[in-house]
């Protein structure tokens, strides 16, 4: 344990987290391109679910979600869900079990447990943004998940292998 303590004193927390993510990404999926060899300045896409990330380290962290064996943090508040990171477990406990929603909308009475959910709410409800467009009928959606459900239900014959829907920004 002495080596680990010395290492953590020498490397900042953010650097240690980044190194850990890169390590696990290569161990869990060694056939994939190493995250550091991907463009760190541009967006990268998960080859398993199609989700986009700002950087390769974010993608590497995300990829652990696809590996059930890595989920080591279990919720002990009754639901027994598993999480890959303690921060995700803590956020789950705060929002689901304690019902804490600190991110309040300044335009309506709704509040959210995650800042991302507040931002999505504002753009979809108050700004009426619909950035996710069906490639077949051009119907637009606020959420990517609604586009995917629409395409799978109404246009299943056009679904390609591994396709989870296209957005206007991915063309």
Is 67 within the bounds of a domain?
no
pLDDT at 155 over 70: yes
Q: Would 138 be classed as within a structural domain?
A: yes
pLDDT digits (tens, 9 = 90+) for 41-83: 578 888 888 888 888 888 888 887 777 666 578 899 888 888 8
Q: Name the strand (E) or helix (H) holding 53.
A: strand 52-53
Mean pLDDT calculated for residue range 75-96: 88
pLDDT of residue 94: 92
Convert the pLDDT of each residue in 113-144 to its tens digit.
999 999 999 999 999 999 999 999 999 999 88
Q: How far is CA 115 from CA 16, 129, 141, in A?
A: 25, 17, 20
How many other CB atoms are found less than 10 A from the CB of residue 53? 17
Q: How many domains does the chain have?
A: 1
| Residue, of 97 and 58, whose pLDDT is higher | 97
151 within domain boundaries: yes
Averaged pLDDT of the chain: 74
Backbone angles phi, psi at 19, to 5 degrees: -60, -40
pLDDT of 169 = 38
Evaluate whether residue 105 is within a structural domain. Answer: no
Flag whether 125 is in a domain. Answer: no
**Residue 65 belongs to some domain of the structure:** no
**E strands, 73-169, in order:** 73-74, 82-83, 103-104, 111-112, 132-133, 140-141
Could you report the per-residue pLDDT of 17-41, keeping only the tens digit for each?
555 555 555 544 544 444 444 444 5
Which domain does 140 fall in, by range?
A: 132-170
Q: Contact, 47 vs 32, CB < 8 A?
A: yes
| Model confidence, pTM | 0.50
Give domain status of residue 144, yes or no.
Answer: yes
SS3 86: helix
| DSSP 8-state assignment for residue 162 | T
Q: Report pLDDT for 14.
A: 47
What pLDDT score does 35 carry? 42
Q: Strand 103-104 to strand 111-112: parallel, antiparallel, or no bridges (unpaired)?
A: antiparallel
Confidence at 161, pLDDT banded by 50, 70, 90? very low
The Cα 63–Cα 82 span in angstroms is: 15
CA 16 distance to own-chain centroid = 20
Residue 166 domain-assigned? yes
């Amino acid at each position: 344990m002495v080596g680990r303590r010395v290492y953590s004193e020498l490397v900042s927390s953010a650097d240690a987290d980044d190194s850990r993510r890169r390590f696990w990404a290569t161990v869990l999926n060694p056939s994939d391109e190493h995250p550091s060899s991907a463009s760190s300045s541009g967006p990268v896409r998960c080859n398993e679910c199609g989700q986009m990330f700002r950087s390769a380290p974010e993608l590497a962290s995300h990829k652990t979600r696809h590996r059930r064996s890595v989920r080591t943090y279990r919720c002990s508040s009754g639901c027994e869900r598993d999480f890959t990171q303690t921060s995700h477990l803590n956020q789950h406990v705060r929002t689901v079990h304690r019902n804490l929603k600190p991110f309040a909308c300044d335009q309506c009475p709704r509040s959210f447990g995650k800042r991302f959910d507040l931002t999505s709410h504002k753009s979809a409800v108050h700004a009426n943004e619909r950035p996710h467009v069906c490639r077949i009928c051009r119907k637009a959606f606020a959420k990517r998940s609604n586009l995917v459900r629409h395409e799978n239900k109404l246009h299943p014959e056009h679904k390609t292998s591994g396709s989870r829907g296209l957005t206007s920004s991915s063309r």
